Amino acid sequence: MHERYKPANVCIYCGETTASLSDEHVIPLCLNGTLVLPSASCPACAALTSADELEVARHMYGPLRLRDDFRSRRKKRRPESMAFQILDVAGVFREVNIPVRAMPVLIPVLILPKPGIVTGAAPHDRNPPMRLQLIESRPILEKEVLTKDEIERIKYSARVPWGALCRVLAKIAHSYTYAHFRGSGYQALLNPILLRKSGHLAHYVGGYDGEPLQHTIEVGITPIDNETYIYVNVLLMPRLPVYQIIAGRVTDIDELLRAFEGHKTDETRPYV
């Protein structure tokens, strides 16, 4: 079931009000998102954010989405099986078709440093230092389709578009912040990133090493260099790390709190 906020009636990315505005899934629908901010994105901005979501969903989590039947607007077009290359005992790859529900999956996990603004680093356009981990996720079936030995010899391929992933995280934080504070009491920081006018991804998007999250998304405020900022912590799915995004600079704390009280939901765990 989707939870719908009060409509924005403005593009939360560029400020457009005259164009036809589409609903914005805070966490993308393709990643099982259920929070919806209605009338929040113009066609041009929706094309930008959708392109990043598609790249992440297809190249990082495509097999997992298929096997575990994630939400999709095109479920009828999903394949029933996929071809895999398995290295046989003679050292030659052979192709086998595996039913989607029986596929073993490797989930790429991108480990990011804390946002640069949190650590005091200067903004930059370079790739941050990061690590890649692979998590094996096997299907839960009464009868295995492949032997353990065959699973260990499957050839996997994946692409990890870190820029697209960071922009998806920025989009989640930006839209979630707007849904709760309605642009009141803070200066939004992520619009230039989402509109491709800034490459300072690592300055605002990064890792998190605090307490475990109680919800999929948590929002709160934190002091940084004698200013107060809004942060959003995001857990895209179980077994992935929590990411932290600095979404806004607080300009009026009383106005911010009044807006928050009017729009909080069960998904919110405030630290204000």
Beta strand 217-224 with 227-234 is: antiparallel
Query: Among 208-217, 220-229, 260-269, whose mean pLDDT is lowest?
Result: 260-269
pLDDT of residue 261: 79
Please check whether residue 125 is in contact with residue 109, taking contact to mean a CB–CB distance below 8 angstroms: no
143 and 89 within one domain: yes
Residue range(s) defining the domain that contains residue 228: 3-59+162-263
Torsion of CA 246, 123, 162, 237, to 10 degrees: -10
Q: Give the pLDDT band of residue 163 (cuts 50, 70, 90).
A: very high
User: Does 149 fall in a domain?
Assistant: yes
48 and 179 within one domain: yes
User: For residue range 92-113, what is the model confidence (pLDDT) as tens digits?
Assistant: 999 999 999 988 899 999 999 9
For residue 204, the tally of other CB atoms under 10 A from its CB is 28
Chain-centre distance of CA 51, in angstroms? 13
User: Does 31 fall in a domain?
Assistant: yes
Residue 205 in 3-state DSSP? strand
Choose among 196, 181, 176: nearest CA to 48. 196
Q: Return the structure tokens found at 135.
A: 């998590």
> CA–CA separation, 49 vs 46, rounded Å?
5
User: Does 67 fall in a domain?
Assistant: no
Give the pTM: 0.91
Domain C-terminal end among 129, 155, 181 = 155
Please report where in the chains the tokens 């065959």 appear, as a residue. 150
In sign, the C-alpha dihedral spanning 73, 76, 77, 78 is positive
195 and 134 within one domain: no
Please check whether residue 244 is in contact with residue 235, taking contact to mean a CB–CB distance below 8 angstroms: no
96 and 23 within one domain: no
250 and 167 within one domain: yes
243 and 171 within one domain: yes
Mean pLDDT of the chain: 90
Tell me how many domains the chain contains: 2
> CA–CA separation, 242 vs 216, rounded Å?
9
User: For residue range 108-144, what is the model confidence (pLDDT) as tens digits?
Assistant: 999 999 999 999 999 999 999 999 999 988 887 766 7
Choose among 179, 51, 201, 112: nearest CA to 189. 201
Choose among 87, 24, 32: nearest CA to 61. 32
pLDDT of residue 159: 85
242 and 167 within one domain: yes
Beta strand 93-99 with 154-155 is: unpaired
**Taking 90 as the threshold, does the pLDDT of residue 77 lie above it?**
no
Q: Give the pLDDT band of residue 71 (cuts 50, 70, 90).
A: confident
Domain C-terminal end among 155, 189, 224 = 155
> CA–CA separation, 79 vs 13, rounded Å?
35
Beta strand 105-111 with 131-137 is: antiparallel
Percent of the chain with pLDDT over 90: 71
Stretch (H or E) spanning 192: helix 191-194
User: For residue range 153-162, what is the model confidence (pLDDT) as tens digits?
Assistant: 888 888 899 9
140 and 94 within one domain: yes
Please check whether residue 166 is in contact with residue 60, taking contact to mean a CB–CB distance below 8 angstroms: no
Chain-centre distance of CA 153, in angstroms? 30
pLDDT of residue 272: 29
Please check whether residue 219 is in contact with residue 268, taking contact to mean a CB–CB distance below 8 angstroms: yes
Q: Give the pLDDT band of residue 246 (cuts 50, 70, 90).
A: very high
89 and 26 within one domain: no
